[in-house]
Structure 1
Amino acid sequence: MTNLFILQLLNGAQLGVLLFLIAAGLTLVFGIMDVINLAHGVLYMIGAYLIATFAGLTGSFWLGLLLMFPAALAVGLVIERLVIRPLYARSHLDQVLATFGLVMIVNEGVKIIWGPSPLSVPMPDLLSGSIALIGPLQYPVYRLAIIAAGLAVAAGLYVVINHTRIGMLLRAGATNRDMVSVLGVNIRRLYSLVFALGAVLACFAGAIVAPILSVDTGMGESVLILTFVVVVIGGIGSIRGAFLGALLVAIVDTLGKTFGPILLRFVMEPAAAGQTGRMLAPMLIYILMAAILFARPQGLFGPKPS
């Protein structure tokens, strides 16, 4: 049981860093630009398709990953200029409808370009295999590398946001967008930077998870709902909140799905416990969100309402 707990805790940490990479950009886009972007999940999907394409063309996962970054940056800048920028002065309903339409367009475009069949990305040889943790417990090296990469990005974002001028502008923009604009900051350039950064982070998450998941057109929607829960729990505009919220959501979700049916067996028949546990497990993250919002309506690290 201890080994199972440690294994699922690591799986939760891996899911958590992926959610953080997606949620970090989403919370900045909403916190600074005040734009609700339902298409953020397709950027995660695009990152997976980009790495599949570049890795296939070059024959190397690492070269494919290197080429993915400028391509993701270009995709983010194009979407911001053509779709997001005209929505700045529009209502949230308009933003929701426009970005939902973008999801449909991108999904169909991906099917036209890459086809409807799922793609696969070979795992790099350097990170293949498993490593011994405790006793007989083995864990895939690549999944540990995902956790390490996510933590490295989180540390990098912490340094950038808390110890650089760009980070100062991002924090100020998340707190008071109008004041930043009045002080002479090129607000359009700041918005483009924020959206492009979010796009690159989401594409990076899709790229690094591609070797362990099938790359298909539905992968963006499945992760978007969890990402919005992370943003709400962490607090709008807070990178620290996105990180902690992502880990909380991922670990609660992973442990709930694994141990919920096991715990219910103490009070129910095994078959009924398994069925009930699978039904109740997805509710846990929403119960967690409700509890946190009851105690802190602004989220864990969101700005307090004035």
Structure 2
Amino acid sequence: MMLLAEQVLNGLQYGMMLFLMAAGLTLVFGVMGLINLAHGSLYMAGAFACAAVAAVTGSFWVGLAASLAAAAGLGALVEIVVIRRLYARDHLDQVLATFALILVFSEGTRWLFGSFPLYLSLPPVLSGAVTLPGGLVYPAFRLAIIVIGAAIAVGLFWLIGRTRLGIRIRAGEADREMIAALGVDIAKLYTMVFALGAALAGLAGALVGSVQSVQVGMGEPVLILAFVVIVIGGIGSIKGALVGALLVGMTDTLGKALLPTFFARFMDASSATSVGSALASMLIYVLMALVLVVRPTGLYGARI
């Protein structure tokens, strides 16, 4: 039971991290209708900004703030200079242009920081472990990621559902021509949405960089999972991104923890680990397929 509780928390932590990545992606895709393959590069930019600023200032918190500012600023710049020219183009042009941005960001980051990975040191308050009810000892930083993700989810629900900006975002998703005709500056709205999505991706990169290493190309693997999340949850839905991220995080984590143990009952340990890990990696795509069979637009996507 202790092992299961620990893996559930790991799944929550992984899911919350995927949510930070997927929330910005689903906003951009839902509101702008833009396929942004460079979203993972903004995730990487946030991680490198956090590592670089934390190394100079000696403060992890300043680095975390820098990750938000750098990713949001870079996202706004990219939207104004490149993305704005792609709204009227078809999805193939968007894919090609944003794929080119991946190459530009990767080589630019390698030129600025080199090819060697960077590492972040956690502040003392987050570097230890916390004893939870029941005697479970769990890393404080992983618990902090769960809390941060939950807080940002609540903040996004409030922003989208209760603020004037949220009303414009929802209206832009439903009928961008109409809100433009009503006098809303659609270009400014798109820049703000893109910068918000970039900031969330940059924050996710900084948090992950604190657990793993910060390196060139770290954004592409998580981008694939973020697309899986928004397909499961429904494009344009923050609630769908949260539910989809938690489902993917739990499925992946529990699958990797429990399947090797299950196969070890009738296979040798090495084969059980190999087969169990391989099947666990497939589970999230099986989950996506099952959801699409039942609801082709995702769990919370608009019905066609």
Deviation at 1:124, TM superposition (A): 0.8
Following the alignment from structure 1 to structure 2, what is the Cα–Cα distance between the partners of residues 261 and 126?
Answer: 35
Kindly indicate whether residue 256 of structure 2 is the aligned counterpart of residue 276 of structure 1: no
* 1:74-116: CA deviation from partner (whole Å, max 9, x where unpaired): 1111111112111111110111111111101100110100000
Following the alignment from structure 2 to structure 1, what is the Cα–Cα distance between the partners of residues 178 and 293?
Answer: 30
Following the alignment from structure 2 to structure 1, what is the Cα–Cα distance between the partners of residues 166 and 278?
Answer: 42
Structure 2 gaps of 5+ residues are: none
Q: Indicate the percent of aligned positions where both proteins have the same amino acid.
A: 54
* RMSD value, Cα: 1.3
Following the alignment from structure 1 to structure 2, what is the Cα–Cα distance between the partners of residues 209 and 273?
Answer: 29
Kindly indicate whether residue 208 of structure 2 is the aligned counterpart of residue 206 of structure 1: no
Q: Conserved in 1, the CA contact under 8 Å of 2:22 and 2:229?
A: yes
CA gap 1:271/1:207 in 2 versus in 1, 3 angstroms:
closer
Corresponding position of 1:246: 245
Following the alignment from structure 1 to structure 2, what is the Cα–Cα distance between the partners of residues 243 and 258?
Answer: 22
Corresponding position of 2:2: 3
Q: Conserved in 2, the CA contact under 8 Å of 1:175 and 1:303?
A: no
Deviation at 1:134, TM superposition (A): 4.8
Corresponding position of 1:139: 138
Following the alignment from structure 2 to structure 1, what is the Cα–Cα distance between the partners of residues 48 and 288?
Answer: 32
Deviation at 1:220, TM superposition (A): 0.3
Q: Conserved in 1, the CA contact under 8 Å of 2:53 and 2:63?
A: yes
Corresponding position of 2:102: 103
Following the alignment from structure 2 to structure 1, what is the Cα–Cα distance between the partners of residues 98 and 2?
Answer: 43
Corresponding position of 1:112: 111
Q: Conserved in 1, the CA contact under 8 Å of 2:45 and 2:67?
A: no
Q: When the two structures are superposed, what TM-score results if normalisation uses the length of structure 2? A: 0.97
Kindly indicate whether residue 117 of structure 2 is the aligned counterpart of residue 123 of structure 1: no
Number of residues of Structure 1 aligned to a counterpart in Structure 2: 304
Deviation at 1:261, TM superposition (A): 1.2
3-state DSSP of counterpart to 1:11: helix
* 1:7-30: CA deviation from partner (whole Å, max 9, x where unpaired): 111111111111111111100111
* More displaced stretch, 292-301 vs 181-190: 181-190
CA gap 1:276/1:163 in 2 versus in 1, 3 angstroms:
same
Q: Conserved in 1, the CA contact under 8 Å of 2:47 and 2:67?
A: no
Deviation at 1:293, TM superposition (A): 0.9
Q: When the two structures are superposed, what TM-score results if normalisation uses the length of structure 1? A: 0.96
* 1:51-72: CA deviation from partner (whole Å, max 9, x where unpaired): 0111111111112222333322
Following the alignment from structure 1 to structure 2, what is the Cα–Cα distance between the partners of residues 213 and 265?
Answer: 29
AA matched with 1:302: G
3-state DSSP of counterpart to 1:139: strand
Corresponding position of 1:302: 301
Following the alignment from structure 1 to structure 2, what is the Cα–Cα distance between the partners of residues 240 and 72?
Answer: 23
Following the alignment from structure 2 to structure 1, what is the Cα–Cα distance between the partners of residues 52 and 117?
Answer: 12
3-state DSSP of counterpart to 2:120: coil
AA matched with 1:89: A
Following the alignment from structure 1 to structure 2, what is the Cα–Cα distance between the partners of residues 41 and 67?
Answer: 17
AA matched with 2:209: A
For 1:18-57, list aligned pairs within 5 A: 18-57=17-56
Deviation at 1:136, TM superposition (A): 5.0
3-state DSSP of counterpart to 2:270: helix
Structure 1 gaps of 5+ residues are: none
* 1:170-209: CA deviation from partner (whole Å, max 9, x where unpaired): 1122222233223322111111111000000000111122
Kindly indicate whether residue 218 of structure 2 is the aligned counterpart of residue 219 of structure 1: yes
Following the alignment from structure 1 to structure 2, what is the Cα–Cα distance between the partners of residues 159 and 252?
Answer: 28
Following the alignment from structure 1 to structure 2, what is the Cα–Cα distance between the partners of residues 162 and 136?
Answer: 39
Corresponding position of 2:62: 63
Following the alignment from structure 1 to structure 2, what is the Cα–Cα distance between the partners of residues 28 and 250?
Answer: 20
Deviation at 1:135, TM superposition (A): 4.9
